[in-house]
Amino acid sequence: MYPSVMHRMMSTDPSVRSATLTPGLVRRVWQFASAYRSRVAGFLVLVVLQAILGLAPALVIKAIIDDAVPHDDTAMVGWLAGLLVGVALIQAVAGMAERYLSSTIGEGLIYDLRVALFDHVQRQPIAFFTRTQTGALVSRLNNDVIGAQRAVTGTLGTVVSNVVTLATTLTAMALLEWRLTLLALVLLPVFLLPARKVGGRLAGITREGYDLNASMNSTMTERFGVSGALLVKLFGNHNVETESFGQRAGKVRDIGVRSAMYTRTFATALTLVGAIGTAVIYLIGGRLVISGAITTGTLVALGVFVVQIYAPLTSLTNARVDLMSAFVSFDRVFEVLDSPNPITDKPDATSLTKPSGLVEFDHVTFTYPSGTENSVGSLESQAQLAAPDAGSGPVLHDLSFTIKPGQLVALVGPSGAGKTTVSQLITRLYDVTEGSVQVDGHDVRDLTQASLRAAIGVVSQDPHLFHESVADNLLYARPEATQEELESAAKSARIHDVIAALPDGYNTVVGERGYRLSGGEKQRLAIARMLLKDPAIVILDEATSNLDSENEAAVQLALAEALEGRTSIVIAHRLSTIVNADQILVLDEGRLVEQGRHQDLLAADGLYADLYRTLLRNPK
C-alpha cells in the first residue's frame, strides 16, 4: 500500500530521515474534529459493546464443554447455541451502526478539510502561486486529505477497537486463570518494542512518498495541460519526457517493493511469535487440565482468548505504523493551512461603495516579497528550494501620481520598468512596502478586498479562460447576468458574431485556457467579461497586443464607448492608446521620470519621445 512506499529514494535527505510529527498534532486533529465529538462518543460506545460481545463465544464454548456436555443437558446446549446466534445478530447490528458513524465522521472530516484548504489556498496572495507547484498543491487537496480521512474512518477505529478488545480479553483471561494470562503476556515486549522504531521510520517513508507523488502529479499537470503538451510536441521531446517520468516511477516501484517486503517480514515475525505463544498456552494449559488444576472448557476458552490477544497485538503494532503514516497526512494538510497570508482584510475594513475611480499613489516604494514569506517549502520545486532567496530589491521607488475619475491614463516605459507592478498594487495583489495606494481617498489596505476588486476590471495580455462554456466564462464576472446582457457585452467587445458561429453558441466549451479560440478572440471575450462586470476602474494590460489591425480598430471603438466615464489605466505600446490618453506616466527602472500629455512629452524630448520614435518605426 503506497503510504509506506518510498523508502530509499529520499533516504539521503537528513530532513526526511529525522522527520517527526508536529508537536500537539493529535490534539489539533481532535480539535478540528470537535463538531463530530458526539458521534465519536457513540462510536466508542459501540466499539466497547462489540469487544464485550466478542468474549461471549469463548465463554459459551466453555459452558458447553464444562457444564452441558458432562450432564447430557441438551436443553442447555440449545439455549447456549441460541445465545451465540443472538450475540452474532447484536454484533452485526452494532457493526453496521459503528460503520455508519465512522464513515460519517471520516467523510465529514474530509469535507471540512477540503473546504478549509480550498478556501485558505484561494485567498493566498499571488506570490504564493508563483512559487507553488500546482500538482503538489492538488495532491494536498486530494491524496493527503484522503490519507487524513483514512486515519479517522479506518486506522483510528481499528486501533480503538483493538485496544478495547485487548483490555477486555485480558480481563476475562485473568478471571479464568491468572497464571496462564501472565504467561501469555511474557511475549508482549516482543510485540511492542519494535513498534516505535518501525513507526517513526515508516512515517518518514510515507512523507517521502507523498512528496514524490506530488512531484509526479505536478509534472503530469504541466505536461498534460494544453500549453505543456504543445511545447512537448513542438520540441519533439516525447521520449525524453517518458524516460524522465519513467525513472521517477521506477524509483517509486522499487521503493514500494522494498517497503512492502520490510513490512511483511516484520508482520510475519510477529505472527510467528503469536503462534509460539498460543502453543505455549496449550502446552502448559494441557498439563494443568491433566493435573485437574483447570477444566477442559477453561483451556479451550483460554486458547480462543489467546488468539484474541495476539491478533490485536499484531494489528496494533502495524496500526501504529499506519497511524503514524496517516498523521503525516494531517501534518501536511495543516502545513498548508498554517501558511501565512499577508494580504488580508483588517478587522475594521470598510467597503468601497459607489466608487468614482480616483486613484492615488503616495510615495510608493515596493519590493517583491521573498519566497520564504509567501510559500510552503514542500510545495516548491527542488530548483526553487536550492536557489538563493536574497530578494530582488525595490522595483518601484518613491512613486507619486494621481489619476482623476474618468481619465484615460497610459503607463509607458521599457520592459521591466514596473508598469504591471503598478496595476497589481492598485488591485492589491501585493501590498506596498512604503507609502500608500489609495482609491477614492481610501488606502486600499483599509478596504475589503471584495469591494475593491468589484470596482476594478482587468484585461491582461494573456487572459485566462476556464475549461467551461462561453456563457460560464462571461457569467464569472456577474453570475446573475441575463442572456441579453451577455450578448450586449459581447457585441460591445465585437465578439458576438464569433460566439454565435460556434457549434453551440454561448454554450460552446472553450477548451482549457480557451484554446478553441484565437488569441484575439480570447482577448475580446475577456473584454466582454470585463464590460459585463461594469467596473469603475479598468486596467488594460496590453489587452489589444494580440489583435490584428482590423480587430484592434473594432475593439478600440468598442472600448472608447465602453470606457466612457470610467477611470482607465492602459499598459500599452499601441500608438492609438498613447496619443489619445488624458495623461501619460512614463516609468523607468521603477521611477516616474515623465508625466503629461502626448504633445507636451514629445516637446520635452526625453525618454517618452525616444520610446515614441521607436514605436513609429515598429508600431507592433
For the chain, the domains span: 24-337, 462-534
What was the pLDDT predicted at 487? 92
What was the pLDDT predicted at 226? 62
> Please, is 18 exposed, middle or buried when counting C-beta atoms within 10 Å of its C-beta (0-12, 13-18, 19+)?
exposed
What was the pLDDT predicted at 262? 65
- Order of strands across the sheet that contains 442-443: 394-403, 359-367, 434-439, 442-443
| Residue ranges in 33-142 assigned as alpha helix (H) | 37-53, 56-63, 74-122, 126-131, 134-139
Burial call 20-51: b when 16+ CB within 10 Å, e when fewer: eeeeeeeebbeebbeebeebbebbbebbbbbb
Cα 527 from Cα 548, distance rounded (Å):
16
End-to-end CA gap in the chain: 57
What was the pLDDT predicted at 148? 75
Cα dist from 547 to 230, 461, 529, 551, whole Å: 22, 11, 17, 6
* Superfamily designation of domain 462-534: P-loop containing nucleotide triphosphate hydrolases (3.40.50.300)
> What's this model's pTM, rounded to 2 decimal places?
0.70
* Range 24-337: architecture per CATH: Up-down Bundle (1.20)
| Cell numbers linked to 53 | 460481545
What was the pLDDT predicted at 211? 66
β 537-541/567-571 pair status? parallel
List pLDDT tens digits, range 188-243: 666 556 655 665 566 566 666 666 776 677 777 767 766 677 667 666 667 777 88
CA 428 from centroid of its chain's CA atoms: 24
What was the pLDDT predicted at 27? 80
Residues of the chain with pLDDT under 50: 1-19, 383, 385-388, 390
Contact 134, 375 (CB under 8 A): no
What was the pLDDT predicted at 405? 94
